[in-house]
Amino acid sequence: MNKRNSDDFLFKKIKDKNATIGIIGLGYVGLPLVIRFCEEGFKVLGFDIDPGKIKKLNKGGSYIKHIPSVTIKRFVNEGIFSSTSDMARLKEPDALIVCVPTPLTDKREPDMQYVENTAKEIAKHLRKGQLVSLESTTYPGTTEELLLPLFQEKGLKVGKDFFLVFSPEREDPGRKDFTTKTTPKIVGGMTEKCLEIGAALYSKIVNKVVKVSSPRAAEMTKLLENIYRSVNIALINELKMLCNRMDIDIWEVIEAAKTKPFGFEAFYPGPGLGGHCIPVDPFYLTWKAREYDFATRFIELAGEINTSMPYYVVEKAGWVLNERGRALKGSKIIVLGVAYKKDVDDQRESPALRIIHLLKKRGANVVYNDPYVPVCAGHRHYPDINMKSVELTEEALKGADMALLATDHTSYDYALIERHAQCILDTRNAFRKNKINSRKVYRA
């Protein structure tokens, strides 16, 4: 194909919804994209290295709580969705969207192995006329410095033979007021033609596409969004600890401040940050900034504060038990919620994991309940956690020295918990929000 034909052919396939879409990484980001493209009538081929996921998806099953199996099954039965672990099939789709993890190493540096390995696989099979979009959150320069050289090794030219964009994911698992369709999509292309084709593709599944000047600008946009939240959450967490010493109710203060109609946005304290994005992404920029001899002091300070919050919660648990004549060591504690936020099954970077780990290290006997997470195990930073959710019964609550609320699931019967628990440490202000005021409830 010559340049003009390459452009026109892909544009036409996208316009007519005849393009096959390849989604690489079928987790909390990739699977919602699968659904959106299928809803619009595109044929989708999913890729994942987990054979268990592939098997379940091809049978029409979902492994993510808020994505119903009936939706997956419908598209499988219609013949527009299938999944595979065979990376040789990467040459089949017209557009490849990369949604693989970008965690941190133990030294808080970017762990790029998943992006790099995926890029190498794509490079092996890349053909003329394909669009590649990276959605995984990463440091500015990844698309240009890591992906582009790999893709051009065989002589293919970006913007002519293939097209490359960065379009950051903006998924918020379990959220109902904004969906994949209604959340604007940022797109930055390596060339103007890359940008046009990337925007054309995403405009088929989202209501609004926002074009930026380059992949680096798109990569930085995503980091800004998450750093903004991380810094403000750290601020409110620090104020929470100060207010605790000053005997001031931080939640009362926040609600009062919210009455100002301008210049204030409410952020809320908690037991620490969770999810894949906010606890991780700011450190990608911190790491990259060193290359430019620049120290990102706000980001690093916010990270220190947010990372310290599970320690604060455990210290507060020890203080509460001491007030009640008990030592933390040897006490039985039931942790309520191990998902990183309410009403989802996502445990990635959940502060509850660190809290459980610390409690166990200090000699507590820990069990947990989470209606969304029947098994809590397999976390690489917490090999000591291998547990099953216990039933939240009157006996379980009475048999524990403390109920520690880490995740404020809507389905919890807060009145029942208050009635039967010996004492409660509430890290989310959930009992107050449910109009339960009790001497049994302490806040952390």
Task: Please say if the pLDDT value at position 44 is more than 90.
Answer: yes
**Residues with catalytic annotation?**
277
Task: Please say if the pLDDT value at position 26 is more than 80.
Answer: yes
Instruction: Note whether 158 and 265 are same-domain residues.
Output: no
Residue 8: its pLDDT value, please?
79
What mean pLDDT do residues 388-396 have? Answer: 97
Separation of alpha carbons 62 and 78, rounded Å: 16
Amino acid identity at 173: P
Compute and round to an integer the Cα radius of gyration of the chain: 24
Instruction: Note whether 379 and 296 are same-domain residues.
Output: yes
What mean pLDDT do residues 77-101 have? Answer: 97
Instruction: Note whether 205 and 88 are same-domain residues.
Output: yes
Instruction: Note whether 304 and 431 are same-domain residues.
Output: yes
Q: What is the pLDDT of residues 266-297, one digit of tens each?
A: 999 999 988 777 788 888 999 999 999 999 99
**Residue 106: inside a domain, yes or no?**
yes
Single out the residue in 188, 213, 238 at which a domain terminates: 213
What mean pLDDT do residues 18-43 have? Answer: 97
Residue 5: its pLDDT value, please?
62
Whole-angstrom CA distances from 343 to 338, 370, 405, 408, 412 are 11, 10, 14, 8, 10
Contact criterion met (CB below 8 Å) for 132 and 122: yes
Separation of alpha carbons 91 and 95, rounded Å: 10
Instruction: Note whether 292 and 393 are same-domain residues.
Output: yes
What mean pLDDT do residues 1-29 have? Answer: 85
**Residue 428: inside a domain, yes or no?**
yes
What mean pLDDT do residues 400-425 have? Answer: 98
Instruction: Note whether 143 and 49 are same-domain residues.
Output: yes
Separation of alpha carbons 52 and 106, rounded Å: 27
Task: Please say if the pLDDT value at position 119 is more than 80.
Answer: yes
Q: How confident is the model at residue 58 (pLDDT cuts 50, 70, 90)?
A: very high
**390 contacts: CB under 8 Å, gap ≥ 6:** 334, 367, 368, 369, 396
What is the pTM assigned to this prediction?
0.91
Residue from 183, 178, 186 nearest 209 by CA: 186
**Residue 402: inside a domain, yes or no?**
yes
Residue from 173, 123, 114 nearest 147 by CA: 123
Q: How confident is the model at residue 118 (pLDDT cuts 50, 70, 90)?
A: very high
Single out the residue in 181, 213, 245 at which a domain terminates: 213
Instruction: Note whether 153 and 235 are same-domain residues.
Output: no
Instruction: Note whether 150 and 45 are same-domain residues.
Output: yes
- 63-72, 262-271, 314-323: which has the minimum mean pLDDT? 63-72
Separation of alpha carbons 186 and 160, rounded Å: 22
Separation of alpha carbons 220 and 141, rounded Å: 9
- 2-16, 116-130, 203-217, 262-276: which has the minimum mean pLDDT? 2-16
Instruction: Note whether 205 and 248 are same-domain residues.
Output: no
Instruction: Note whether 36 and 135 are same-domain residues.
Output: yes
Separation of alpha carbons 193 and 170, rounded Å: 24
**Residue 224: inside a domain, yes or no?**
no
Q: What is the pLDDT of residues 196-244, one digit of tens each?
A: 999 999 999 999 999 999 999 999 999 999 999 999 999 999 999 999 9
User: Domain range for residue 112?
Assistant: 3-213
Residue 6: its pLDDT value, please?
64
Residue 274: its pLDDT value, please?
86
Task: Please say if the pLDDT value at position 3 is more than 70.
Answer: no
**Residue 59: inside a domain, yes or no?**
yes
Q: What is the pLDDT of residues 136-181, one digit of tens each?
A: 999 999 999 999 999 999 899 999 999 999 999 998 887 888 999 9
**Residue 128: inside a domain, yes or no?**
yes
Instruction: Note whether 183 and 208 are same-domain residues.
Output: yes
Separation of alpha carbons 196 and 174, rounded Å: 31
Separation of alpha carbons 279 and 296, rounded Å: 15
CATH number of the structural domain spanning residue 112: 3.40.50.720
Average pLDDT of the chain, as a whole number: 95
Structure tokens at 302: 């916010």
**Residue 67: inside a domain, yes or no?**
yes
Residue from 50, 49, 37 nearest 78 by CA: 37
Separation of alpha carbons 289 and 296, rounded Å: 7
Residue 275: its pLDDT value, please?
79
**343 contacts: CB under 8 Å, gap ≥ 6:** 66, 174, 372, 409, 410, 411
Contact criterion met (CB below 8 Å) for 168 and 151: no
What is the total count of domains within the chain?
2
Instruction: Note whether 106 and 11 are same-domain residues.
Output: yes
Task: Please say if the pLDDT value at position 49 is more than 50.
Answer: yes
Single out the residue in 189, 213, 237 at which a domain terminates: 213
Task: Please say if the pLDDT value at position 104 is more than 90.
Answer: no
**Residue 405: inside a domain, yes or no?**
yes
Residue 25: its pLDDT value, please?
97
Residue 172: its pLDDT value, please?
83
The share of the chain scoring above pLDDT 90, in percent, equals 89
Contact criterion met (CB below 8 Å) for 152 and 119: no
